[in-house]
């Protein structure tokens, strides 16, 4: 098949898929249409239909990975990296996403990130020649990646559960709590109590006088 014939068939397929998508904008035909655009080197068109499709299908991994590749082909590594990193959060074992990320990470000098993507690929296919080659060229290994991506706070001291050897901070806190419970009430507390009792007595006497006065008025 000649190149011209291939181009003609590709154009017909693009036209067919574009017509189908125009009739039903929510159709998933945007995926094969984007693929055909990519085969024809029409990456701007591919990115456009993928962006539109993701509005209807957010989180659609296949579309996200394809869009990342389109951005990469358009020379937009920042946008490509952002969408691809989001895709591997949703699908950590997506090899196509990791392959494109390796390319971007390596070009930007982010070797640790590139090695992590290599390790992700090799965890699925330990004999992947491309990932093994890149990993070797960057001087990494699966063990190295594990050590780099281990616990994020390795230097945190473990919480002690031993009561016989409390920390200085715990001892000070305990002493402070003990002191707080043994502090006598302030001197004015007794005075306040006496005043409240005195006020209650006055109110009681006032009420008694009011009642007696009313009874006197009725009987006079």
The CA distance from 181 to 190, in Å, is: 18
pLDDT digits (tens), the chain, 220 positions: 677 777 888 899 999 999 999 999 999 999 999 999 999 999 999 999 999 999 999 999 999 999 999 999 999 999 999 999 999 999 999 999 999 999 999 999 999 999 999 999 999 999 999 999 999 999 876 544 444 444 333 333 333 333 334 444 444 444 444 444 444 444 445 554 665 665 666 666 665 555 554 544 455 4
Tell me the C-alpha distance between 23 and 154, whole Å. Answer: 56
Q: Does domain 3-148 have CATH number 3.40.50.720?
A: no
Separation of alpha carbons 50 and 44, rounded Å: 10
Report CA Rg, the chain: 38
Contacts 24+ apart (CB under 8 A), 67-71: 68/97, 68/100, 69/38, 69/96, 69/100, 70/34, 70/38, 70/43, 70/46, 71/47
DSSP classification of residue 29: T
- Residues 88, 94, 96: CA angle, nearest 5 degrees: 110
User: Residue 65 corresponds to which tokens in the numbers above?
Assistant: 């990975």
| Burial tier of 30 (Cβ tally within 10 Å: 0-12, 13-18, 19+) | buried
Q: What sign does the CA torsion over 94, 96, 101, 103 have?
A: positive
**pTM attached to this predicted model:** 0.63
145-153, long-range: CB within 8 Å, 24+ apart, which pairs? 145/115, 145/116, 145/118, 145/119, 146/119, 148/112, 148/115, 148/116, 149/116
Per-residue pLDDT, 197 = 65
Q: Are 113 and 102 in contact (CB under 8 A)?
A: no
């Amino acid at each position: 098949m000649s190149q011209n014939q291939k181009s003609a068939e590709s154009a017909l397929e693009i036209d067919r898929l574009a017509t189908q998508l125009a009739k039903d904008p929510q159709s998933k035909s945007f995926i094969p249409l984007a693929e055909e655009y990519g085969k024809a080197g029409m990456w701007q068109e591919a990115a456009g239909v993928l962006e539109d499709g993701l509005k209807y299908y957010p989180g659609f991994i296949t579309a996200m990975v394809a869009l990342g590749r389109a951005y990469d082909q358009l020379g937009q590594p920042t946008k490509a990296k952002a969408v691809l990193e989001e895709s591997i959060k949703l699908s950590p074992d997506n090899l196509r996403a990791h392959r494109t990320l390796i390319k971007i990470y390596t070009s930007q000098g982010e070797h640790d990130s590139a090695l992590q993507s290599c390790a992700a690929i090799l965890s699925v296919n330990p004999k992947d020649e491309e990932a093994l080659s890149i990993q070797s060229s960057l001087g990494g290994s699966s063990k190295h990646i594990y050590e780099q991506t281990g616990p994020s706070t390795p230097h945190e001291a473990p919480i002690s559960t031993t009561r016989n050897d409390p920390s200085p901070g715990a001892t000070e806190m305990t002493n402070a709590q003990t002191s707080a419970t043994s502090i006598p009430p302030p001197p004015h507390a007794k005075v306040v109590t006496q005043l409240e009792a005195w006020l209650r007595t006055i109110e009681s006497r006032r009420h008694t006088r009011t009642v007696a006065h009313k009874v006197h008025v009725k009987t006079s």
